[in-house]
Structure 1
Amino acid sequence: MDSNRLSFLVGEYLQLWADHGVGCEHLRKLPIGVQAEPQATDPRRGSEQTLSDVRQALGNCMRCQLAQGRNKIVFGSGNEKARLMFVGEGPGANEDAQGLPFVGRAGNLLTKIIEAMGYQREGVYIANVVKCRPPQNRAPLPAEVEACTPFLRAQIEAIRPRVIVALGLPSSTFLTGKVVTMGQLRGRFHPLHWNTGVEVMPTYHPAYLLRNPSAKKYVWEDMKLVRARLETLQ
């Protein structure tokens, strides 16, 4: 995804949040980010590589300003050959402290969702669009997403999941390339916008469900579709 397209998508989903009463206007006033020195290694597009290769290429990443405030890089965790992958937006405080994705209250709920589907957390793979915690849990800025994009793409290429569940509107917008509301995205599969061989199911983020329990029924509808699709792909 080129930087102009990325900036457009991020700006559009921030506006969508604002339209739904979520205060995000202050994010537009934040600096895009410092320009870090490029590092020697980057993921190799189109090459056969493992998650270990991707993690090694990421190194002690200083590619954007998020590195300045992080405690730990949250690379991802789970089955390296998972058929099902979950992708959120970015780490929170608990994840930043432990270096693992989805370990707080939202993570506990995600684990319950995975188990309700008939899977184990260890059998899927969980990651985020960005690998470092944005301050005050704000939305990642375009430069931050752009810095992490090669690594998420490389993770997906290494894992080769059949289905990705996009958790929340930012992740869903990024993975599908579609700038619409969550209500318009969820409930059906979309192609991963840079790889039509992978299907994406957008759904609400577990943190949203903690604030809006009535939306759990929609997530469960989405997860039943995911489970049924995976059964047909065996």
Structure 2
Amino acid sequence: MAGCFPRRETRATFRELTEGLLMELEDVNCWTLAEAVGHSGPHRFQHLLSRASWDDQQVLDQAAAWAVQALDDGEGVLIADETGDAKSSTDAVGAGPQYSGSLGGVGLCQVAVHLSFASGLGHTVVDRALHLPRGWAEDDERRELAGVPDEVAFTTKPALAAAMLTRAVAEQQVRAGFCHAAWPVTQPEPAPQTGIYRPRGKGISDKACQWTPPTGGSLWSLRGSRSYHPVCAS
């Protein structure tokens, strides 16, 4: 993955961050990760996640491709779901009163949509996108202060999932026997030879896996300033 990092120092800091994430920590944020790897403070990790120049999408794509190849037992599943990350204020991008299953109801949080590949051998994240609520998307002042890209518009969580599923198949060449989504969404017709998106499993209806290409909106990396990435919570 060396090509994803223009500077050697950035690559070294990323390696330390990864080592920290693999540790069994009670709380995971820039402070606890920094302490775990011997840093005096969280500044290096905060800089890496908010300002440093590196291609986080390429890192994810390469890691996901390696993991999917290792985990593919011919019975893989693509799973789209959402996860809420509790916040103490609305300063974090996308934070606001939202429903989160991990919080057990409505709470102040960021919500991200994740796409995972799972098989009998294990599971891995394939893609992710931060959900930007309508209130955030329509507030020009907050967007400018937080550095939200102009092309990012309000997009529903099912539409974010649909875009990631489309990309996983069309660009990342992920092949799976069926798909399970947390909501009824739409997706492209499967190629006859792949059998992808075949509904299967208890409680998964046919509607959950009927897809047409998504329109509007765009995917947005969790990485960036103002705690775009859940790890930056502090």
Pairwise same-fold verdict (TM > 0.5): no
The structure having more radius of gyration, on CA atoms, is: 2
TM-score for both structures, normalised by structure 1 = 0.27
Give 1 or 2: higher strand fraction.
Answer: 2
TM-score for both structures, normalised by structure 2 = 0.27
